[in-house]
Chains A and B, each alone.
Chain A
Amino acid sequence: METMMGLINLEHEHDFLNELTYFRCGAATPFAGRYRLIDFTLSNMTKSNISEIAIFTKNKYRSLMDHLGSGADWELNKRHGGLFILPPQWHDPSDVSKGDLRHFCNNWDYFERSKSNYVLISGSQFISNMNYQELFEAHLESEADITLLTTDYVQLPEHDTSLKVEVDENGKVKAITNDTKNPHVFSGIYVIRKSLLYALMEECIANYKNHFFLDGITSNLSRLNIHSFSYKGYSAVVNSIDSYYQQNLALLEPDNYQRLFSEGGRVYTKIGNQAPTKYNGSAEVSQSLIATGGVINGEVENSILFRGVKVGKRVKIKNSIILQHCKIEDGAHLENVILDKDVTITEDQLLKGAKEQPFIIAKNRTI
């Protein structure tokens, strides 16, 4: 039976979340009350029977490594395979490779050692809860060189920077463009045969290229047999402050919540061992997503509270995202605000951002 190995490639992901990515990479940014962005891709891989997963990190990966640990919470602490975090650390003076090609080339022995003949490559910004086996089966059946996972969106600003795919009637990819009117958005996830990955990598390095997908695949569109596989389930692209804010709050719609969390099975994350959330006598909570470990004495509306958030009396929180272990003291009012973790808002403070431009407070601050 053919199998895939997994690769989460963070080399070309930018730290797009301003204050939230001052000290962490985008993949490690908290999302949806108890997760980090990377959890969705990682859980999908685990659920798709991918038992060896590598992560190419670029910078600010301390928080990512703290989150992933040995991979035990994703059942990736295994004798065979498991999780391999591959930081950019190499000192070969004769090495001429650039960009993510340096990762591929310096870690090639890792790929070679695997018994899998295929590699599933993904970033961390495509949020979904799915099983990649269907994509893999379609790939094997079509005998394509490469199969791209695409999905159709009503265009949002965050899709501007995503690649779009033009397909003929047989599912064969004719063009990969930036055409903002094209709704077939490339998720950043694709399957490729390991031997082809190696050949394209060698070719890119020989030509001093620095981006495996753009230089190795998009540029060779005419001579490769590239197919697309269309995903119909719930998904979101998170690649900007605006999309981070909107896509978090989108999960307050019961329909979206159900589709992301109930249809594809559970999404794994680092276990925090928090007590159930405590709602005291003066709590008023509506239309909100609340993680465990919190104590709520005030009003929370249309907001997301991560683990261990304390909400004091007479507090009003509206349209806001409060990351883990924040403390909102009595009488504070927050609207259209994103608080990074461990922020304290002192008594009777008033903070208000615009709906289109939430006000962000960096972690550990006391306001």
Chain B
Amino acid sequence: MKKECVTMLLAGGAGKRLGLLTKNLAKPAVPFGGRYRIIDFTLSNCLNSRMYTVGVLTQYSPLELHKHIGVGKPWDLDRMEDGLTILSPFTVNDGGSWYLGTADAITKNIHFIERYDPEYLMVLSGDHIYHMDYDKLLRYHKEKNADVTISALEVPWEDTSRFGILNTSEDLKINQFEEKPIHPKNNLASMGIYIFNWNILKKYLEADARDSVTNHDFGQDILPAMIMDNRSLYAYRFDGYWKDVGTIQSYWEAHMDLLEESLSLSSPNNNWKIYSHDSNFAPQLINQQATIRHSLVNNGCIISGSLDHSVLFENVQVADGAVIEQSILLPGVRVGENVILKRVIVQENVTIPSNTRIIAESTSEPIVLSNENLESIS
């Protein structure tokens, strides 16, 4: 059956810079924001933008991720005709191989895309935190009569070397794509969200597959080749909140951002809900001695200690006299009496014994605490 637009969600990344957080977990499956996993933001954007044909490309450590996504039920993507399909690397007649790059992952699934005979292909990555209406992006793409549209946002000039930078003319036509430039000419950064005219992209993917000296990557190979051929590439300006939680520092910062009273992403927004699994824990119980300021707390938590600038996932218990500051406590964490934590990310199901004191100085990276390093740190 024909669909106008097929969405391919890249969720196979290892997220190596997240260290312990992605040791046994794909980056899109990393818990985020007190109740979600990172990929929930992208999947919820798909539902809220009425993008109902979604392929999720997985590769690295996919067990938790696959269990979380399932058939896509929390995002209403369990549909009769299209809906969500998990696309993992596979073997074929002549062998088969892992996905070698972002472009290769799409190339290997051309047979999936062609089932829907689409006009447009949207490529997303499953590791960013933002709310976005992809339908607006698609309409913009059609208005501009573009071959490719890349969603982009202005980043501070000092951060430009971390991003793919788009150099554009005034009408936002892209003349140059610079991956992590040292001397940037612009501060408009690619968000890794692309819409392609499928018939054009397909040609480039097929050419890329035949090429032996390529990284099979959109940013390094496909987009530069299209610019070289004078294709019409446009930038789409996005001006909401967007965060790449690629490092422990940025993961922690994104959580502190959520605690801002004014941030639209964290205000309960009924028009743009983020969906996820629910484990049916009871409401949180806040005991007599507790104090809670500038914090997010989920179901099943029992709090007796004090919380400031912290995010607590479900089923976390904080005992009397504990002081938790600027920390992130993942599901199932138990904090003993008089524990002091500052700038600590505690992984799932870690029990911190009473009177433990763990403080990360504000000049250093936040500490990630897991069952493996608990004894050596505390």
Q: Is A54 an interface residue (CB 8 A)?
A: no
| CB neighbours of B286 from chain A (8 A) | 285-290
**A289/B284 in contact, CB under 8 A:** yes
Complexed CA–CA distance, A269 and B74 (Å): 15
For the complex, count residues of B whose C-beta is within 8 A of A. Answer: 40
Q: A293 to B293, alpha carbons, bound, how many Å?
A: 16
CB within 8 Å for A275 and B284 given contacts A266-B279, A283-B293 = no
B282 touches A292 (CB 8 A): no
A277, B284: Cβ atoms closer than 8 Å: yes
> Would B287 and A254 count as touching, CB distance under 8 A?
yes
Contact residues in A for B96 (Cβ distance below 8 Å): none
Q: Which residues in B have their C-beta under 8 angstroms from that of A108?
A: none
Closest chain A residue to B302, Cβ basis: A254
Q: Are A34 and B282 in contact (CB under 8 A)?
A: yes
Interface hits, B285-317 → A, CB 8 Å = 285-299, 302, 307, 311-313
Contact check, B294 vs A279: say whether CB atoms are below 8 A apart: yes
- Which residues from B are CB-within-8-Å of A304? 283
Q: A271-B278, A275-B266, A295-B268 are in contact. Are A287 and B287 (CB under 8 A)?
A: yes
- A308–B293 contact, CB under 8 A? no
Set B285, B289, B296: member contacting A252, Cβ < 8 A: B285
Contact with A along B108-138 (1 / 0, CB 8 A): 0000000000000000000000000000000
Is B16 in contact with chain A by the CB < 8 A criterion? no
CA distance A279 to B296 in the complex (A): 6
Majority DSSP secondary structure for residues of B touching A? loop
Contact A278 to B266, CB < 8 A, known contacts A268-B280, A289-B284: yes
A292 near B279: Cβ-Cβ < 8 Å: no
Q: Which applies to chain A's interface (DSSP): helix, strand, loop or mixed? A: loop
Contact with A along B233-273 (1 / 0, CB 8 A): 00000000000000000000000000101000011100001
**Could you say which of B34, B275, B297 has the most chain A C-beta atoms within 10 Å of its C-beta?**
B297
Asked whether B267 lies within 8 Å of A32 as measured between CB atoms, the reply is: no
- Which parts of B23-47 form the interface with A (CB within 8 Å)? 33-35
CB <8 Å contact, B288 and A286:
yes
Residue of B261, B268, B282, B297 touching A261 (CB-CB under 8 A): B282
Count, chain A residues at interface, CB 8 A:
38
Q: Closest chain A residue to B310 by CB distance?
A: A279
At the interface, yes or no: A93 with Cβ under 8 Å from chain B? no
User: Across the interface, which residues of A come within 8 angstroms of B98, CB to CB?
Assistant: none
User: Is residue A229 contacting chain B, with contact meaning CB distance below 8 A?
Assistant: no
Q: Cβ of B283 and Cβ of A34 under 8 Å apart?
A: yes
List of A residues within 8 angstroms of B157 by Cβ: none
Question: Which residues of B1-38 have CB atoms within 8 Å of chain A's CB atoms?
Answer: 33-35
A289: contacting residue among B33, B285, B290, B294, CB under 8 A: B285
B80 vs chain A, min Cβ distance (A): 16
A322 to chain B, nearest CB (A): 12
Contact partners of B294 in chain A: CB under 8 A: 279-281
When C-beta atoms are compared, the residue in chain B nearest to A277 turns out to be B297
Contacting residues, chain A, for B54 (C-beta < 8 A): none
Q: Is B276 an interface residue (CB 8 A)?
A: yes
A276 with B35, Cβ < 8 A, contacts A257-B285, A288-B286, A308-B268 known: yes
Task: Select which of B261, B281, B288 is within 8 A of A280 by beta carbon.
Answer: B261
Residues of B within 8 A of A34 (CB): 282-283, 299
Nearest-Cβ distance from residue A39 to partner chain B, whole angstroms: 10
A275 touches B290 (CB 8 A): no
A275-B268, A286-B287 known; A267 vs B282 contact (CB < 8 Å): yes
* Residues of A close to B296: CB separation below 8 A: 275-279
Known contacts A34-B299, A278-B296, A283-B292; A273/B283 CB under 8 A:
no
B195 at the interface (CB under 8 A from A): no
Is residue B274 contacting chain A, with contact meaning CB distance below 8 A? yes
Offer 23 A-B interface pairs, CB within 8 angstroms, sorted by A. Answer: A33-B282, A33-B283, A34-B299, A254-B302, A267-B280, A273-B273, A273-B278, A275-B35, A277-B296, A277-B298, A278-B268, A278-B295, A279-B292, A281-B293, A283-B292, A284-B291, A286-B290, A289-B286, A290-B286, A292-B299, A293-B268, A295-B267, A308-B268
Give A contacts to B, CB under 8 Å: 32-34, 252, 254, 257, 260-261, 266-269, 271-281, 283-295, 304, 308
Q: A290-B286, A293-B268 are in contact. List 11 more A-B contacts (CB 8 A).
A: A32-B282, A276-B311, A279-B292, A280-B294, A281-B293, A283-B292, A286-B289, A288-B285, A288-B286, A290-B283, A292-B299
